[in-house]
Structure 1
Amino acid sequence: MNGDILIYILIAVMVILGYSARLLTVSGAIAAFGVGFFTVLGLGLKGLFILGLFFVSSSFWSKIKSANKSKAEEILVKGSRRDWQQVMANGGLAALSSALYFATEDKLFLLGFCICNAAANSDTWASEIGSMSKVKPFFIKTFKRVERGTSGAVSLLGTSAALLGSFVIACASYYLFHLTEGEFLFILILGFTGNVVDTLLGAFIQAGYQCSVCGMKTEKTVHCGRKTNLIKGIPFLNNDTVNFLSGLSALLLGTLIQ
């Protein structure tokens, strides 16, 4: 019991540090503690390490700035500081999988936890690293080059980063949970698949807007002090919703295959 208390204190310290470093908002910090709590409940320190690997590595890439990336952030609704919606979109399903593993001890939920983190890491690395590409990406719906940071766009750098992001989580899961080579590939492939689904949703149904003042295409509903005009997608399907749906798709696909 004392050991568990120390672990939860560790989570609280990590969350406070994340807030102090401006990686989390207040709501994001509260949500992050909840995700950490349920992760430790089912999978202990090993699960917390996987979760921390995703959060720390993604935050690291978020903080790296370049001229290209700064311009890309003009397109995005939110910056590198995560609120509760971003935390839950990327970590909520993993926390749920861990809680279900605690209740059932079914390995399916352990693999689900790993897949969710691999998908989240794959997508985040693709977005953060891909936005630093020197070459503008292709929008998969039209195959025309668009601004960096556009949802539904792909580049060689971003795609490579997505595969590497999934690979990192799959490797850590393989060693920490003593998985088989087949389970390693299972996590790797489905994690990357989550990013592919995210890209498809981003291109075809995620909401996109255009500023009525400067003409910039963006995900923001307000730009240059005025409301933007919806030019594609469904209004309530923002980036957080798409992230959640892509992780859910990878999880459900893994459940069906398993």
Structure 2
Amino acid sequence: MTFFFLRNAKHFLPQVFLSSFFMTDLDNNSCKKYIKMITNIVILSLIICISLAFWIMSMTASTYYGNLQPISPWRWLFSVVVPVLIISNGFKKKSLDHSGAIGGLVVGFILTIANFSFFTSLLMFFLSSSKLTKWKGEAKKRLDSEYKEGGQRNWIQVFCNGAVPTELALLYMIENGPGEIPIDFSKQHTASWMCLSLLAALASSAGDTWASEVGTVLSKSPPRLITTWEKVPVGTNGGVTMVGLAFSLLGGTFVGIAYFLSQLVFVNDLDISAPQWPIIAFGGLAGLLGSIVDSYLGATMQFSGLDESTGMVVNSPSNEVKYIAGKPILDNSWLSSTQVNFTKLVIVLALLKKEKVVSLGPGFPKTV
């Protein structure tokens, strides 16, 4: 037998080595696939465990306090899984950096667990803003000295746009508990105000983003400074165009439509509630107002100057920079936060003033 093996070794040993080589490659590829699969299984298992832990806590709290409605495990699971998937995709596409992804998870989780209509509005704002930020990136790079590839947002930018909606979502859960409700002031006055305030915050952010990302590229006429109406270079803080204002209205309307459609899908008793279509008009109004407020704050509280060496508008004063407008008080992140808070405050105060309230439709506030 030994003699037979040695005599025929030259025939089958090369085949054995060749097979071993391909098997090693195959094993390496298989290992990578198995590792990826196991990683996904582990992550999914952790998410399920976290969701169940939250559900157990809500059941315990409901049993202890008696007047709290427990949140279903499916709602917990959806509120954890879906934001993780969306944020992971945004991180891969460079719409968010590491800190922005973590901040986005917090904001996304709280808005989703509170109300699916909140989540849908946030999702449409995030997706549309990310797409528009990347749209015609080369042209924007030539105009904006602070342009980032993919428009990566960090945790500061996420919370400047998401802190107000997150705060309102938490207050909404304290007032009403998690779940979707029709906006009807005759039945749920406080909760309806919170819903409109949150919609105003998201719509104003969307309106400002749509205006700045589209108006700078599509407008054929130079922008005008909102405070003096003088022509200014493209990229000047506080510069507005008719195209930009139109898209701010569209951006807010887009978020309003997302909220309205979510109401149709998730709210059960719409047939006995106030019509929900005024939400769309309200979103458009908030988007337009948000853009105007942002432009005014940018023109007065954010420095704009023309760098004569590059021909680009910059936000920091120096010897080589020619002054255009504004004072170096706020940067873009703080400006967005101030704009969101101010717009929400203006809209809510205007509507809450009973003597001068304008009716948005049946079931909405009316002049008293």
TM-score, scaled to structure 2: 0.62
1:65 corresponding residue in structure 2: 136
Cα distance, 1:20 vs structure 2: 0.9
Change (3 A) 1:220 1:5: farther
1:55 corresponding residue in structure 2: 126
1:239 corresponding residue in structure 2: 332
1:165 corresponding residue in structure 2: 251
Cα distance, 1:251 vs structure 2: 1.1
1:136 corresponding residue in structure 2: 222
Distance 1:54 1:245 in 2: 18
Change (3 A) 1:227 1:35: farther
1:42 corresponding residue in structure 2: 114
Pick from 315, 321, 345 the counterpart of residue 252 of structure 1.
345
Cα distance, 1:249 vs structure 2: 1.4
Change (3 A) 1:249 1:139: same
Q: 1:119-158 maps to which residues of 2 (within 5 A)?
A: 119-133=204-218, 134-158=220-244
2:27 corresponding residue in structure 1: none
Cα distance, 1:164 vs structure 2: 0.5
Q: Is the 8 A contact 2:254 2:283 kept in 1?
A: no
Amino acid at match of 2:129: S
Among the aligned pairs, what percent are the same residue? 27
Q: Is the 8 A contact 2:305 2:316 kept in 1?
A: yes
Change (3 A) 1:68 1:167: same
1:206 corresponding residue in structure 2: 302
Cα distance, 1:18 vs structure 2: 0.8
Pick from 152, 171, 188 the counterpart of residue 100 of structure 1.
171
Greater CA radius of gyration, 1 or 2? 2
Q: Is the 8 A contact 1:209 1:230 kept in 2?
A: yes
Cα distance, 1:100 vs structure 2: 1.1
Cα distance, 1:227 vs structure 2: 10
Amino acid at match of 1:37: F
Cα distance, 1:229 vs structure 2: 8.8
Cα distance, 1:77 vs structure 2: 6.5
Q: Which moved more, 1:211-220 or 1:11-20?
A: 211-220
Distance 1:236 1:143 in 2: 22
Where 1:235 maps in the other structure, the secondary structure is: coil
Q: Alignment length, in residue pairs?
A: 253
1:12-32 deviations in whole A, cap 9, x for unaligned? 121111111110011111111
1:51-93 deviations in whole A, cap 9, x for unaligned? 110000010011111654222222x475611111111111211
Instruction: Confirm whether residue 194 of structure 1 aligns to residue 290 of structure 2.
Output: yes
Cα distance, 1:110 vs structure 2: 1.0
Cα distance, 1:8 vs structure 2: 0.6
Distance 1:137 1:71 in 2: 16
Amino acid at match of 2:302: Q
Cα distance, 1:46 vs structure 2: 2.7
TM-score, scaled to structure 1: 0.87
1:18 corresponding residue in structure 2: 90
For the aligned residue pairs, the C-alpha RMSD in angstroms reads 2.6
Distance 1:148 1:212 in 2: 14
Amino acid at match of 1:136: P
Change (3 A) 1:71 1:186: same
Q: Is the 8 A contact 2:107 2:163 kept in 1?
A: yes
Cα distance, 1:232 vs structure 2: 5.0
2:161 corresponding residue in structure 1: 90
Amino acid at match of 1:239: N
Gaps of 5+ in 2: 1-54, 56-72, 177-190, 265-274, 353-368
Gaps of 5+ in 1: none
Where 1:217 maps in the other structure, the secondary structure is: strand
